[in-house]
């Protein structure tokens, strides 16, 4: 059980025009989403620039990264960008950090930066957190070393597991986080991302993952009431209160946001 209220985010990294991007931000705001979150890949927009434009087009929507690859930037560079965005967004920026997804090493090579070993990447992540002051920090974590760092330093912990992971598998990660965080655990906001929501899983997702079981935590199906009931139960049983969704499903998921946001 958690005292955290539900909030919801949209994960989006690209639009064909500036008007489409700002329109997406305004639509997310109008539908009650709390955040617009931008991934960090060379196949999507530059996250800081995209977040700044989204913030300028909205008034209450918070913007953030989901998640910034800490090995691909120096801590000082991240702190500079964050301070700028905090000011220009009216303090509506949230920093999401990770130690780098598998494809981030290829991005690092293109950018001309050293990706580093797993231990070096986690150290860089810790240094980046320490360099950033007074901004909400989300850390995406799944392995023990990242969970320990998140337990010590994050405000929000996103459980970074594949969409097909079951609730039992997620619960095992959260049990580990509980042991690592100790008294700090109750203060942590717990987050998960939905790769798909509403209707059957899309073909591109099943092609990538194969068969997706009915208890997959990263895919939510059913009516709005059924999806809302699942999320209420997950908050009660797992403590997950912050849920983001792929922007492709922004409208499908909006009725759930309307039912649960802020409750």
pLDDT digits (tens, 9 = 90+) for 102-148: 788 899 899 999 999 999 999 999 999 999 988 999 999 999 999 99
Mean pLDDT of all residues belonging to the chain:
94
pTM: 0.95
- pLDDT, position 202: 73
User: Architecture of domain 7-260 in CATH?
Assistant: Alpha-Beta Barrel (3.20)
Q: How far apart are CA 48 and CA 53, in angstroms?
A: 9
Q: How far apart are CA 160 and CA 170, in angstroms?
A: 9
Q: How far apart are CA 179 and CA 176, in angstroms?
A: 5
Give me the long-range contacts of 82-90 (CB less than 8 A, separation at least 24). Answer: 82/132, 82/135, 84/48, 85/48, 85/51, 85/52, 85/55, 86/134, 86/135, 88/52, 88/55, 88/56, 89/51, 89/52, 89/55, 89/56, 89/63, 90/55
20 and 48 Cβ atoms separated by less than 8 Å: no
Query: pLDDT (tens digit, 9 = 90+) per residue, 244-260?
Result: 999 999 999 999 999 99
pLDDT-based confidence at residue 1 (cuts at 50, 70, 90): low
- Angle of helix 250-260 relative to helix 18-30, nearest 10 degrees, comes to 30
DSSP reduced 3-state for 224: helix
């Amino acid at each position: 059980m958690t005292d955290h209220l539900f909030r919801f985010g949209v994960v989006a990294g690209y639009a064909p025009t500036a008007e489409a991007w700002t329109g997406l931000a305004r639509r997310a705001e109008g539908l009650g989403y709390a955040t617009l979150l931008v991934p960090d890949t060379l196949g999507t927009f530059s996250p800081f620039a995209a977040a700044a434009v989204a913030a300028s087009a909205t008034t209450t929507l918070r913007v953030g990264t989901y998640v910034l690859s800490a090995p691909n930037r120096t801590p000082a560079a991240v702190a500079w960008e964050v301070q700028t965005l905090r000011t220009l967004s009216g303090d509506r920026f949230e920093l999401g950090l990770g130690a780098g997804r598998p494809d981030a090493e290829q991005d690092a090579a293109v950018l001309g930066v050293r990706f580093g070993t797993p231990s070096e990447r986690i150290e860089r992540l810790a240094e980046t957190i320490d360099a950033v002051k007074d901004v909400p920090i989300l850390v995406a974590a799944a392995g023990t070393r990242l969970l320990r760092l998140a337990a010590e330093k994050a405000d929000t912990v996103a459980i970074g597991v594949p969409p097909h992971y079951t609730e039992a598998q997620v619960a095992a990660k959260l049990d580990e986080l509980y042991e690592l965080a100790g008294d700090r655990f109750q203060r942590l906001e717990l987050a998960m991302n939905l790769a798909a929501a509403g209707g059957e899983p899309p073909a591109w997702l099943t092609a990538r993952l194969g068969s997706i079981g009915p208890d997959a935590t990263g895919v939510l199906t059913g009516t709005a009431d059924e999806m809302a009931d699942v999320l209420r139960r997950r908050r009660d049983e797992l403590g997950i209160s912050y849920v983001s969704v792929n922007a492709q499903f922004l409208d499908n998921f909006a009725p759930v946001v309307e039912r649960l946001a802020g409750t």
